[in-house]
Amino acid sequence: MTSNNRIYSIDIMRGLTLLLMLFVNDLNMEVAPSWLGHMPADFDGMGLADWVFPGFLFIVGMAIPFAFSKRFLQGQSLIDISRHILIRSLSLIIIGVLMLNTGRVDPELTGMSKNLWALLMYIAVFLFWNDYLDKDRKIFTITGFKLAALGIFIFLVFKFQSGQPENNGSLITSWWGILGLIGWAYLVSAFTYVLCRDSIWKTALITFFFLVLNILSCRGMLGFLDPVEPFLGIIIQGNNPLIVLTGLIAGLIIKKIPSNEYKSIILIFIGLGLFCLTSGFILQKWFLISKIQATPSWGMICSGISFLVFILIYWIVDVKEKKGWAKFLKPAGENSLTTYLAPDILYYIIWMTGIPILIYKQSSEPLVVIIGSLVWALLMVGLTALLARINIKLRI
């Protein structure tokens, strides 16, 4: 086992969940086997797609202790770190809400097609949040790009019309979009680490609080919080913070136990994985296993799976030092936001131009559909690597 402190399995599992996310998002579920997709809201069970997002949330939590310990060691003040958390969370929430509304664009009222509105929005995201090189030397150029992005955002928001009565036809927050969910859960978990630092027991207590919150929410017992639900609904619901916080506990365990005691780490992770799975199936007595309903049974089962999947990758990569097989995942693991968003730009260009690139989606053969979407996902990971080489990579 290597003696350095870098946990390669965190990057690899992050890359793996993103690859699977691209794969399941691209699948034509009218043809592909149902177990690869999302289960209906009232179905008691889950498919592969129902684990992928919480698997990513789990890794978001795992990375928090390492990222923030570095900031504290660098001497950053509590104010600086709090500002970083708020800016990062708000950025994810803003992008999530914009993505959520792309499908609501009314072309006639807005004066442009859905595809063009969405394409301009994604271009602005890359202009504003790109991790530019030589920031000090190119301050005017970078400021110009960011101002141009802000101009595009303002233009799109004021032009937007859905033609729907909801929110008078303007932008809605609704369920906040995938990135918005990550933003809210990250906000809770990052401040949990700032409050509890490396205390596993304090973090576990807060995690249990959000499990209880999730249970009470699903039982309809938090009606008195309805006035703030439109703004803090994801936090009140408890489910997404719960999953990230379980990942935070996993990260603290890895961080606190010396790497040469990997056998203890493996046993603890297996134990916690089985504990979460057992808890989830016990909770199934009262709650469906449902991603769409964000039930505590689903959340705990997903965390259990994540503990077990991670420790398998950890054993292969960090203990046995077999990293070569996962090199193709490195770009996605290191540039997660770019990996997630860049393919959407291609989608909207393809839909706008009508170029028949995604012909595999039209096949009636499940194997063709699966292989096509897998190849697409792998190509998008390659696209991330290419973009990183030309210094296009998002950082929030």
pLDDT tens per residue, range 253-300: 999 999 899 999 999 999 999 999 999 999 999 999 999 999 999 999
Asked if the structure places residue 215 within a domain, the reply is yes
Residue 240 CA to residue 214 CA, distance in Å, equals 9
Residue 286 CA to residue 184 CA, distance in Å, equals 26
Asked if the structure places residue 2 within a domain, the reply is no
For residues 378-393, average pLDDT:
96
Give the DSSP per-residue string, 300-321. Answer: HHHHHHHHHHHHHHHIIIIIS-
| Predicted local distance difference test score (pLDDT) of residue 5 | 58
| Predicted local distance difference test score (pLDDT) of residue 136 | 83
Q: Three-state DSSP class for 101? A: helix
Place of tokens 């249970």: 215
Q: Which helix (H) or strand (E) holds 52?
A: helix 48-73
- Angstrom distances, CA of residue 263 to CA of 1, 274, 319: 12, 17, 9
For residues 194-202, average pLDDT:
97
Report CA Rg, the chain: 21
| Predicted local distance difference test score (pLDDT) of residue 282 | 98
* pTM for this model (two decimals): 0.96
Asked if the structure places residue 394 within a domain, the reply is no
pLDDT digits over 142-180, tens only?
Answer: 999 999 999 999 999 999 999 999 999 999 999 999 999
Q: Greater confidence, 268 or 354?
A: 268
DSSP label of 114: H
Owning domain of residue 118:
8-389
Between the two ends of the chain, the Cα-to-Cα distance in Å is 32
Residue 182 CA to residue 342 CA, distance in Å, equals 18
Q: Three-state DSSP class for 391? A: coil
Number of domains in the chain: 1
Percent of residues, the chain, with pLDDT higher than 70: 98
Asked if the structure places residue 242 within a domain, the reply is yes
Asked if the structure places residue 96 within a domain, the reply is yes
| Predicted local distance difference test score (pLDDT) of residue 191 | 98
For residues 85-100, average pLDDT:
98
Asked if the structure places residue 190 within a domain, the reply is yes
Contact status, residue 58 vs residue 247, Cβ threshold 8 Å: yes
pLDDT digits over 225-260, tens only?
Answer: 999 999 999 999 999 999 999 999 999 999 999 989
If pLDDT is split at 50, 70 and 90, which confidence band does 386 have? Answer: very high
Residues contacting 147, CB < 8 A, separation 6+: none
Q: Which two tokens stand for residue 254?
A: 């890895």
Residues contacting 72, CB < 8 A, separation 6+: 81
Residue 4 clears pLDDT 70, i.e. is over it = no
Asked if the structure places residue 234 within a domain, the reply is yes
Asked if the structure places residue 168 within a domain, the reply is yes
- Residue 206: which of 84, 64, 93 has the closest Cα? 64
Residue 43 CA to residue 361 CA, distance in Å, equals 26
Place of tokens 């705990």: 300
Average pLDDT, the chain: 95
Residue 2 clears pLDDT 60, i.e. is over it = no
Q: Which two tokens stand for residue 390?
A: 């030309």
Residue 305 CA to residue 273 CA, distance in Å, equals 6
The pair phi, psi for residue 394, each rounded to 5°, is: -80, 140
If pLDDT is split at 50, 70 and 90, which confidence band does 93 have? Answer: very high
H-type alpha helices, the chain: 8-26, 48-73, 78-101, 107-110, 114-129, 139-159, 177-196, 200-218, 229-237, 239-256, 262-283, 296-314, 330-334, 336-353, 366-389
